[in-house]
């Protein structure tokens, strides 16, 4: 894609995102450009699907803003960029990252409609199942089982996305009330080391049977290291 084509695509995305400042518009352009650049490098034949994922995520997050400021879409796009920078070569995992909150936060027909849209756009069980695993149920009692259920699964893509998106969320944790900060930090310290251990196990298993290349040992290490760095910012908070 040339600059003119990227600019036209950003305009299409922003018709949903509705950036309110030039700074936000520049950030949107930067994130999309990075994803396109990595996609053309790693899996150029899947560019159309990645662009479809971005548009679908923008549609289901339209008008939503993060508590820390900026369109909500920045969060899934940042998560996708981080995984691409880590060397994830599976386009389906990047699609999951871009769409991971679409079902949970959709204001365009709710979770079921978002799920139908994802299935209709990709007809890919791995993507649909990954997004579903990352979607918290409305029932608070069932919500508590979301992370343990993910850890028990064998869905490597959903696990990588979960760690990466939590790392991204940690960057904005400071804006919340102290008790909310402590709650999120306790949850992260309790479940995410186990999640990273499970990622290591799955990578080893998949490398041994030839399903993944050895580069994924580095991917797992970088994802864990980034999470630990995110937690390190909050060592002053006693949980």
CB 237 within 8 A of CB 186: no
Enter the pTM of the model: 0.94
Q: Per mean pLDDT, which range of 3-7, 66-70, 150-154, 197-201 is the poorest?
A: 66-70
Percent of the chain with pLDDT over 70: 98
Other CB atoms within a 10 A radius of the CB of residue 3 amount to 9
CA distance 35 to 33: 5
Q: What's the pLDDT score for residue 110?
A: 66
Nearest-angstrom CA–CA distance, 101 and 114: 10
Within its chain, how far is the Cα of 213 from the centroid? 22
**Per-residue model confidence (pLDDT) at position 108:** 67
| Arithmetic mean of pLDDT over the chain | 92
Q: At 229, is the pLDDT very low, low, confident or very high (cuts 50, 70, 90)?
A: very high
Residue spans per domain, the chain = 3-232
**What is 3-232's CATH superfamily?**
Hypothetical protein af1432 (1.10.3210.10)
Please tell me the distance from the alpha carbon of residue 181 to that of residue 85, in angstroms, as a whole number: 28
Note the pLDDT tens digit of each residue in 6-58.
Answer: 999 999 999 999 998 999 999 999 999 999 999 999 999 999 999 999 999 99
pLDDT at 109 over 70: no
β-bridge partners, 71: 65
User: Quick one: CA dihedral 203, 207, 209, 210, positive or negative?
Assistant: positive
Q: Per-residue pLDDT for 186 more than 80?
A: yes
Residue 146 pLDDT > 80, yes or no?
Answer: yes
């Amino acid at each position: 894609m040339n600059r003119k084509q990227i600019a036209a695509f950003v305009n299409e995305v922003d018709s949903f995102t509705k950036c309110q400042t030039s700074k936000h518009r520049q950030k949107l352009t930067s994130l999309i450009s990075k994803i396109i650049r990595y996609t053309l490098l790693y899996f150029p034949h899947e560019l159309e699907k990645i662009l479809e994922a971005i548009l679908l995520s923008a549609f289901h997050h339209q008008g939503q803003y993060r508590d820390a400021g900026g369109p909500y879409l920045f969060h899934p796009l940042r998560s996708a960029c981080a995984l691409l920078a880590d060397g994830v070569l599976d386009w389906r995992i990047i699609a999951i990252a871009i769409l991971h909150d679409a079902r949970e936060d959709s204001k365009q027909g709710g979770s079921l409609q978002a799920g139908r849209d994802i299935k209709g756009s990709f007809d890919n069980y791995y993507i649909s199942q990954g997004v579903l695993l990352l979607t918290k149920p409305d029932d608070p009692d069932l919500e508590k089982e979301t992370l343990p259920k993910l850890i028990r699964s064998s869905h490597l893509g959903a696990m990588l996305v979960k760690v990466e998106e939590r790392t991204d969320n940690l960057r904005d944790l400071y804006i919340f009330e102290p008790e909310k900060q402590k709650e999120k930090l306790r949850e992260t310290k309790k479940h995410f080391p186990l999640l990273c251990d499970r990622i290591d196990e799955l990578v080893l298993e998949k490398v041994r049977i030839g399903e993944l290349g050895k580069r994924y040992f580095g991917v797992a290490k970088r994802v864990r290291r980034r999470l630990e760095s995110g937690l390190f910012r909050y060592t002053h908070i006693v949980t």
